[in-house]
Structure 1
């Protein structure tokens, strides 16, 4: 349900690419910082289920970053978030995922749904006139997809940039040609970019990257668009008076802003804590262990007997506890990290997890229940070995096999990451410890 329509007009573009690895994440962040440094208010969004890119984009823009995905977050929410941002932002950038037309729904689907043009970033290393062919292909592949400009990335010289510009067909121009630069590189690890909070000197690097883009002529704003949508009605306050302790630190950081927003809109009060540093839990009725990198902090987690005892006591009292992916890993009896070292975990779920050294699951999934369908995704490099019988399995939309969902006392645990606004009633039932039933 929606209320009175909202409307805004601003400059906007979806930053995409022919495929992954073209450099669009850092280009998006550098563009956001470039225009922010020019005194503009920049709002950035991320297509699809991604936790890591938004962390960098928030630092770059100085504004909150939300996910947009026509299936996971819903078409109406995509339109509403963009229209709301357009009321006050001078520029909206949406970072796409994978290639422009990859996935279902793709980044192109989001751009067409919202009515914003795509601005592809094309890695031009080892490329000359073929650059124009790639740009033309992206611009003409779908009749409703608007591509007016492209960005050349990682060029070797000014002459190289001129060749790329000359290769473009009529109707497509070159916004800028970015030279190869250390400022445009950002480290990553097995789940994606290194978390923004772990990158020393990130602000300085973003300023340097913005300067590279300015020198390359990318300080021109994209086209103006008009964005209109209905504002959603507030959800019922199903968590009034419920105190939720939320783990948030370098080991547990995969949290959608929209999930926190929804919990507050439902009436919950949130108390954050660090399983790495804190010796106990804040006063709380329910507990949320989100995803993250427990495998990188196994020794520290195992040594914190204070927090381990507090979480075990919470579990023994049959209080609600939601554990997602990294949270699930922490709830097992033992975790074997990438170096082969095994660490004692919470022991709330029988069995153990082991880092596999390769991707084990990736894809969009949902958990169907009598309280609604919780949409989200799975993405992990570890394997679970347990004799526990799952309560349910997620439903696979694309990618890997369905994930088991376990329930023991008040604990609900799975590798599945949920987007809470897709099923407020189910989320409220989990955090209140109320019964809910899976649907096939």
Structure 2
């Protein structure tokens, strides 16, 4: 197959030695600072992440796209990166966890492997808390562990003072031969609210725009942006096939557009941009709704409810009886509904939080119980074994799960479970994919690039519903 070279694609991967090193805050600041210079910055997040991607997108003023070679094939990840970088002055990819942390001892699907996949240099964030020369050993170790990886710069974070910075800089540059691009002092955590594994979600931050501006100011003062841009511009050429599976997936159907509702508000905010694009490309007119303020559900051909934090809006969701009743009535009349994680919780009978019970929509005959620790976290793989509204039996789905809730009453009559859990936890370690009528609820978040049948099945079900009406 012939290929054409992409010759001008400055890019970099921002990585860290571990999770919690301040990588997202500094990447958001870096993106926002470059944008203030008038640059068009393409932004990407490694791994199945919605929250960091939201902040990066806000900093860049455009959608942030996920790159994950577990959720979709490497060639698709690489091509998506190239496509979404088109027209950008520079592209920045934020890694996840530690640089080499993957699903196994070889570091499969790690940030390092992604950097090599897109042939990008790496800037390493080093949390300098209570270390000096040991930081040089860690940076040098990263270089030696994989000589094919181009670690071109270091940004120090949480530095205690001028002397601390001086010792760190001299040690890293003399022993590891990697330039230190900047040094950020310790910052008061109350300025940067966090939840679970990272920053507070964009929609819930009380001063989101101010946060991004402050991050940009800190990076502008502390980091040599000219050296960062020079590293980005040192990235080598990449090749992309002339013929592409993404071209085929983007073919828009000529039939009348189907009205597919999307619950999107501060309670339900987790949607991959590619999933929404896939629905549009397959023939959908997306109707954005809020479960917090809407009254009657409008006329729809299908509804997609993504993940989020319904638990932080439990009272408001419970109070909106008009919308809940309208949605439940629509499901009883056959409306196709695809609900992921938070959407599953919303369609349950009750949401139980610290001995308080909040009535939800009541489509599924189960209750959702919120715990303080994750009940499922990581990649998940399920096999479709039973009849359901969307997927053919035998389909294997790859996705991710991250939920602090579990469901009770799995053995109650009135619902079936379509998925067998092959990897991960799902609802109980064995089952997932609760079905009731044309509604399906699951803890599995799928990505349209890895599961292109997802959008096709949504459209087929929506068209069948419209025709029946």
User: Normalising by the residue count of structure 2, what TM-score does the alignment of the two structures yield?
Assistant: 0.86
Q: How does 1:50-199 map to 2 (within 5 A)?
A: 50-103=49-102, 104-168=108-172, 169-182=175-188, 186-190=192-196, 192-199=198-205
In 2: Cα distance, 1:268 partner to 1:59 partner: 25
Q: Which residue of 2 aligns with 1:348?
A: 363
441, 455, 462: which one pairs with 1:427?
A: 455
2:333 aligned with 1:317: yes
Q: Is 1:228 matched up with 2:244? A: no
Which digits, 9 at most, give the CA deviation of each residue in 1:142-199, with x for residues without a partner? Answer: 1322112111101111221111111122531111111123499521223642121222
Count matched residues.
433
Closer/same/farther in 2, CA of residues 430 and 123 from structure 1, 3 Å limit: same
Match of 2:389 in 1: none
Aligned-partner Cα distance in 2 for 1:317–1:192: 40
Retained in 1: the 8 A contact 2:125–2:155? yes
* Structure 1 residues 58 and 396: CA distance shift in structure 2, 3 A: same
Q: Secondary structure at the match of 2:214?
A: helix
Give 1:108 shift: 0.8
Looking at structure 2, the residues matched to 375 and 318 of structure 1 have their Cα atoms a distance apart, in angstroms, of 27
What's the offset of the Cα at 1:353? 1.0
Deviates more, 1:179-188 or 1:374-383: 179-188
Tell me if the contact between 2:252 and 2:282 (Cα under 8 Å) persists in the aligned partners: yes
Task: Render the CA deviation track for 1:368-402: whole Å, top value 9, x for unaligned.
Answer: 45485443111100111022441222432799945
Deviation string for 1:69-89 (max 9, x for gaps)?
112133122212322344322
The Cα of 1:289 is off from its aligned counterpart by 1.3
Could you list the per-position Cα deviations for residues 72-127 of structure 1 after superposition, in whole angstroms to 9, with x for gaps in the alignment?
13312221232234432222111111111111311111011110122110100111
Does 2:384 match 1:378? no
CA gap 1:48/1:155 in 2 versus in 1, 3 angstroms: same
8 A contact 2:137–2:176 mirrored in 1: no
- What SS class does the counterpart of residue 258 from structure 1 fall into? helix
How is 1:269-348 mapped onto 2 (pairs within 5 angstroms)? 269-337=285-353, 339-348=354-363
SS at match of 1:79: helix
Q: CA RMSD in A?
A: 2.5
Give the direction of change, closer, same or farther, for the CA distance of 1:398–1:289 in structure 2 (3 Å limit): closer
Moved more, 123-132 or 215-224: 215-224
Q: Which residue does the alignment assign to 1:39?
A: 38
1:217-236 CA-partner distances (Å, limit 9, x unpaired):
33121232223323522325
Residue range with higher mean Cα deviation, 202-211 or 124-133 = 202-211
Compute the displacement of 1:207 (Å): 2.2
For residues 402 and 414 of structure 1, the distance between their equivalents in structure 2, rounded to whole angstroms, comes to: 13
Q: Which residue of the partner structure matches residue 438 of structure 1?
A: none
Looking at structure 2, the residues matched to 276 and 424 of structure 1 have their Cα atoms a distance apart, in angstroms, of 30
How far apart are the structure 2 equivalents of 1:384 and 1:183? 34
Q: Residue by residue, what CA displacement relative to the aligned partner does 1:337-394 show, whole Å, maximum 9, x if unpaired?
A: 2x43111111111120111111110111234454854431111001110224412224
Rounded to whole Å, the distance in 2 between the matches of 1:183 and 1:430 is 42
